[in-house]
Chain A
Amino acid sequence: MSAETIEKALEKKPAEAMLSKRRRKLVADPLVDENPITVQVLGICSALAVTTQMQPTLVMAISVTFVVALSNFVISLMRNTIPSRVRIIVQLAVVATLVTLVSELLKAFAYDMYKELSVFIGLIITNCIVMGRLEAFAMGNKPYDSMLDGLGSALGYSWIILTVAFFRELWGSGSVFGIQVFDFLSGLIGPDFHLATNGLMVTPVGAFIILGLIVWVQRTKTGYVEH
């Protein structure tokens, strides 16, 4: 249980600002210091699978952010009513419902993206980050704080997968968001010059490599060492 739940019932505190320092920390910490993918090593599966191109990755990032923030909010609202014996199942039911809603919305309004992401939207249910934040934070904190925490974790996850996708798409397909960059650069350098793409980047092996490099850079900069 986090220390932040101890209520000072006797003192009448002024209401905490919407984006107080503590709350900003909830959103900002998971971006670098507590990054779910690179530090906590959660949610790796989708980080490898969908990041071959930037556009589906962006849709994935938005979907995960929606699910994590909203499920944190809902579970936190319900936290005092959930019987502890069925705690995980209740969390799972709520997350599964939200993910199904996202999937149905995509199918109705963005069918091309729905086709491209197919099973991976459903796999958000199994994304460790979702259940991880529910158990670690939402079950013991207030709704708005929980939503901010979920938002932070999701944003930390999002920027990592977008970075991985950027390099995978650039080096693997020579494009960024579908816009051909290698062809353009080759044209600039000369008529016979052809920047080759790296097929390895399109496979999960490439994703692992990029991810490893990001973890290395990040831990060098923050000085984080696992104990």
Chain B
Amino acid sequence: MRQSNTYVIVYSAVLTVILGLLLSGSAQILGPRQQEAIALDKKKQILGAVISAEEIAAMTPDQVNEFYSKRIASSVVDINGQEITEGGVTAEKVEIAKDYKKPADKRAYPVFIYHADGNPDDVESYIFPLYGAGLWDAIWGYIALDTDMNTIGGITLAHAGETPGLGARITEGEVQARYVGKKIFDESGELVAVQMMKGEGKDYSSDEHKVDGMSGATITGNGVNNMLKAYLGHYEAYIKAKSSSTAVAGL
């Protein structure tokens, strides 16, 4: 009886139902906590472009949330730098990875504005999300521009599946710090972004548009370069609009 066809079929069906219930039940119960964890992680990444990783690591989740709500204002713009308000879209809810599949002119582009405590008009940095392809899988990050809309204030980078010790080094503070102080526009006002060079150990402190590369991770470095060029290009309209308005304000 135990080996009869009916028994096998019924047994398999019952087992599938029980295991299915277990899995969907756990997904239901754990779902909200997972969403919280993911949102918190996103906030930490955004903040990582403007404050140091050590500071963030020292904060409790509540402190991160509080800091974020007090210091970060967000908006969503389109490829022309115009703010998108309809559809109830918030910057935090935009899923960059999913949006990446749409053509560049159809995407929603979140902007995170890092301002002084309590004063949204006193802006310190503009933070832009980035997304692109590394060697094996996706890479992404957040880049912070100073109010001159040219100098890089900071960058965080993350990856889905780069090689540990090679491409995965883009997450290292030391590698990310190489971008601080570099400029994205050249003298003629053209958007050249910042290039990560091949090979490691060279000094590029005199070149505003180059940073030292990662030994053995050239392709990941190229991925970062393409990502920067592409996304800074997408945000160019917004960046140019902001820089001309701050230039006017400074007069």
Contacts and interface: CB of A to CB of B under 8 A. Distances in A.
B8 interface: yes
A68 to B, nearest CB: 18
A37 to B, nearest CB: 20
A118 B161 CA distance: 8
B164 interface: yes
Interface string A100-129: 110011011101100100110000000000
A17 B33 CA distance: 41
Contact of A111 (B8, B41, B160, B161): B41
Given A97-B19, A97-B22, A85 B164 contact: no
A176 interface: no
Contacts of A203: 165
B19 A83 contact: no
A52 B164 contact: yes
Nearest to B164: A52
A104 B3 contact: no
Interface of B is mostly: helix
A111 B16 contact: no
A54 interface: no
B2 interface: yes
A84 interface: yes
Counting contact residues on chain A (CB < 8 A from B), the size range is: 20 to 34
Interface stretch (A5-13, A86-94, A145-153, A188-196): A86-94
Interface string B15-41: 110010011001100100110011011
B7 interface: yes
B8 A108 contact: no
B38 A105 contact: no
Contacts of B164: 52, 202
Contacts of B12: 86, 89-90
Contacts of B38: 111
Interface of B: 2-3, 7-8, 11-12, 15-16, 19, 22-23, 26-27, 30, 33-34, 37-38, 40-41, 160-161, 164-165
Interface of A: 52, 81-86, 89-90, 93-94, 97, 100-101, 104-105, 107-109, 111-112, 115, 118-119, 172, 199, 202-203
